[in-house]
Amino acid sequence: MASEQPLAAVTCTAPVNIAVIKYWGKRDEELVLPINSSLSVTLHQDQLKTTTTAVISKDFTEDRIWLNGREEDVGQPRLQACLREIRRLARKRRNAWDGDPLSSSLSCKVHVASVNNFPTAAGLASSAAGYACLAYTLARVYGVESDLSEVARRGSGSACRSLYGGFVEWQMGEQTDGKDSVARQVAPESHWPELRVLILVFRAEAVVPARMAEMTRCIRERDFPGFAQLTMKDSNQFHATCLDTFPPISYLNAVSWRIIHLVHRFNAHHGDTKVAYTFDAGPNAVIFTLDDTVAEFVAAVRHSFPPGSNGDAFLKGLQVRPAPLSAELQAALAMEPTTPGGVKYIIATQVGPGPQILDDPSAHLLGPDGLPKPAA
């Protein structure tokens, strides 16, 4: 990319991650340093991703950003922290490499457009995917090649975990400057191909260090019962702590509790831990299971939470073959079906890779003028 070109554009995608050992809070609010290490599963971008385009040009008079088609305040502190950090790293690289063709870009303003391919209502960590994608895309457009954990983390703590595919640890670190609070991959996405993830989207309504080591072991050994039990215990403890605050914070609703009972009864019927739930800061459930159990569990969800009028669109993402619900399992669930539509739909996905660069110029969200392309 030659310096005399007036425009540089890069488009990338980044994944959503789901914490199985959660991040419980910050020890440093400004640097976004966590009080504990956390571990997450990166979801596949075929189903869930953020796409971001960054364009730099001498013609731009100010930094601007559009999220899901709407212009937002570029002065937002977390966004400014990411931009400052990327530009600092770019200056550092330019000083080390005199004559860097990208050096002139440092004086240029940037336009950014970002879209999610999943609804915000899905209750997924859109800020993690969003800031990971922002950091990764800005790094490419400004020629930054260093570790991006700090850049992504300044936007949203858990975003640093979306910089990698597979299974990812965010190390809390010990240094006060946060330089050792970084994300690293525990195992790649190819490590556990049988693992499946179901996101149950509900109808809208008005001990950690030891666990980290044990969870890492469960992933390395592909020990699903151990992985599942730790995931549920960590989720339960997180939400118990939320309830124990004053005033209490209650993220789980009646449907959440029915899902919890459904999972435990399903496992009890099989005499084994075949399914696990986890809940983030919201009522929607994320379910982990293996590919040989997905069809039967989806049948159990369909029985307990009949689809509304969208019967055909109830299951999105990976294909799941229809499976009958045995009379024995139906009896073991001991659940009368709810009013149709309690669970709006299910997104079926799997473990996936980290951020990707899209080489096709037609994928850019911004046009040659640096403004959002009109909707197709």
Q: Are residues 205 and 327 in the same domain?
A: yes
Q: For residue 183, which of 144, 218, 215, 148 has the smallest C-alpha distance?
A: 148
Query: How is residue 16 written in tokens?
Result: 């959503």
| In a domain? residue 353 | no
| In a domain? residue 309 | yes
- The pLDDT of residue 184 is 97
Provide, rounded to the nearest whole percent, the portion of the chain with pLDDT above 90.
Answer: 73
pLDDT reading at 273 higher than 70: yes
Q: Measured on CA atoms in the order 319, 258, 201, 125, is the torsion positive or negative?
A: negative
Give the Cα separation of 369 and 293 in Å (integer): 50
pLDDT digits (tens, 9 = 90+) for 175-206: 999 999 999 999 999 999 999 999 998 865 54
Give the Å distances, CA to CA, from 100 to 1, 65, 92, 105, 148.
Answer: 10, 26, 11, 10, 20
Residue 80 lies in domain: 8-187
Q: Are residues 96 and 242 in the same domain?
A: no
Q: Are residues 179 and 262 in the same domain?
A: no
Secondary structure, 3-state, 10-26: EEEEEECEEEEECCCCE
Burial class from Cβ neighbours inside 10 Å (0-12, 13-18, 19+) for residue 229 reads middle
Report the residue count for the chain: 376
Mean pLDDT over each residue of the chain, to the nearest integer: 90
pLDDT reading at 1 higher than 80: no
Give the Å distances, CA to CA, from 337 to 134, 255, 312, 341, 350.
Answer: 43, 12, 18, 11, 28
Give the Cα separation of 316 and 184 in Å (integer): 30
Please give the order of strands across the beta sheet that includes 167-170: 17-21, 38-42, 167-170, 183-187
Q: Are residues 24 and 62 in the same domain?
A: yes
Query: How is residue 125 written in tokens?
Result: 């960590």
Q: Are residues 132 and 281 in the same domain?
A: no
Give the Å distances, CA to CA, from 375 to 69, 118, 294, 321.
Answer: 9, 17, 36, 34
The CATH number for 298's domain is 3.30.70.890
Q: Where does a domain end: 144, 160, 187?
A: 187
Give the Å distances, CA to CA, from 277 to 287, 298, 329, 340.
Answer: 5, 13, 19, 22
- The pLDDT of residue 242 is 82
Q: Are residues 183 and 231 in the same domain?
A: no
Question: Model-level pTM?
Answer: 0.90
- The pLDDT of residue 5 is 47
Query: How is residue 249 written in tokens?
Result: 């914070």
Once rounded to an integer, what is the mean pLDDT over residues 125-142? 92
pLDDT reading at 102 higher than 70: no
Q: Report the domain count for the chain.
A: 2
pLDDT reading at 311 higher than 90: no
- The pLDDT of residue 246 is 78
In this structure, are strands 7-15 and 356-358 parallel, antiparallel, or unpaired? Answer: antiparallel
pLDDT reading at 71 higher than 90: yes
pLDDT reading at 2 higher than 90: no
Backbone angles phi, psi at 37, to 5 degrees: -75, 155
- The pLDDT of residue 3 is 39
- The pLDDT of residue 374 is 85
| In a domain? residue 112 | yes
Pick the more confident residue, 2 or 13: 13
pLDDT digits (tens, 9 = 90+) for 21-44: 998 889 999 899 999 999 999 999
**Which of 109-118, 158-167, 303-312 bottoms out in mean pLDDT, i.e. has the lowest?**
303-312
Q: Are residues 226 and 171 in the same domain?
A: no
Provide, rounded to the nearest whole percent, the portion of the chain with pLDDT above 70.
Answer: 91
Q: For residue 329, which of 308, 304, 347, 311 has the smallest C-alpha distance?
A: 304
Report how far apart the first and last C-alpha atoms of the chain are (Å, whole number): 29
Give the Cα separation of 232 and 333 in Å (integer): 19
pLDDT-derived band at 314 (thresholds 50, 70, 90) equals very high
| In a domain? residue 300 | yes
Once rounded to an integer, what is the mean pLDDT over residues 359-371? 93
Pick the more confident residue, 152 or 284: 152
- The pLDDT of residue 206 is 42
| In a domain? residue 236 | yes
Q: Are residues 320 and 174 in the same domain?
A: no
pLDDT reading at 4 higher than 50: no
| In a domain? residue 238 | yes
- The pLDDT of residue 14 is 98
The CATH number for 20's domain is 3.30.230.10
Pick the more confident residue, 367 or 120: 367
**Which of 17-26, 43-52, 149-158, 307-316 bottoms out in mean pLDDT, i.e. has the lowest?**
307-316
**Which of 111-125, 243-257, 262-276 bottoms out in mean pLDDT, i.e. has the lowest?**
111-125
Q: For residue 42, which of 154, 108, 133 has the smallest C-alpha distance?
A: 133
